[in-house]
Amino acid sequence: MKKVSVLFVCMGNICRSPTAHGVFQKIVEEQGLDEAILIDSAGTHAYHVGEPPDRRSQAVASARGYDLSQLRARQVSHQDFHEYDYLLAMDKANLEILEQSCPEELGHKLKLFLEFAPQYDVDEVPDPYYGGAQGFEYVLDLVEAASSGLVEDIRKRYL
């Protein structure tokens, strides 16, 4: 059986997308779906390639039981559009960058991650990089909600 594959995307792949990666990974494991779902994260820009997630993202995630320490930033590649079933952007700016690079026939794979968190009246995960701890907490709240919605979507569509 082919795994369902999910790629979380933000700008530098050190705050939002690795947070989503770590949260979603834990939820998938807890639900016994780790053999069915492949998860990764990447950035639209190469600013931080090879670096671990931002220490603030790691601290906030760790406090809620998520381990981001093994993740390393990478940039989205052309191959990602072919390999992943979901390419989930954290905001409209990064979605637009993905849309410009994505082959037209694969555009249906691109979405905003918060489409899976309709209980929130926002459609973008804000970049917490230049803010304080509250921004990282809010990102985690949004990511937890969207991750739960994404698991349900995958169950309905693929499993």
Residue 15: active-site member: no
pLDDT of residue 80: 98
Handedness of CA 128, 133, 136, 137 (dihedral sign): negative
Counting residues of the chain whose pLDDT is more than 90, the rounded percentage is 96
Q: Is the pLDDT of residue 1 over 80?
A: no
Q: Is the pLDDT of residue 105 over 80?
A: yes
Provide the number of structural domains found in the chain. 1
Q: Which helix (H) or strand (E) holds 153?
A: helix 133-158
Choose the catalytic residue: 16, 54, 56, 91. Answer: 16
Domain residues for the domain of 100 are 4-158
CA distances from residue 146 to 1, 10, 53, 111 in whole angstroms, order as listed: 25, 15, 20, 12
Q: Is the pLDDT of residue 133 over 90?
A: no
Give the CATH number for residue 97.
Answer: 3.40.50.2300
Please tell me what DSSP assigns to residue 53. Answer: P
Please say whether the beta carbons of 153 and 143 come within 8 A. no
Choose the catalytic residue: 40, 54, 80, 127. Answer: 127
Residue 102: active-site member: no
pLDDT of residue 19: 98
Q: What is the pLDDT of residues 18-60, one digit of tens each?
A: 999 999 999 999 999 999 999 999 999 999 999 999 999 999 9
Q: How far apart are CA 28 and CA 40, in angstroms?
A: 13
Residue 54: active-site member: no
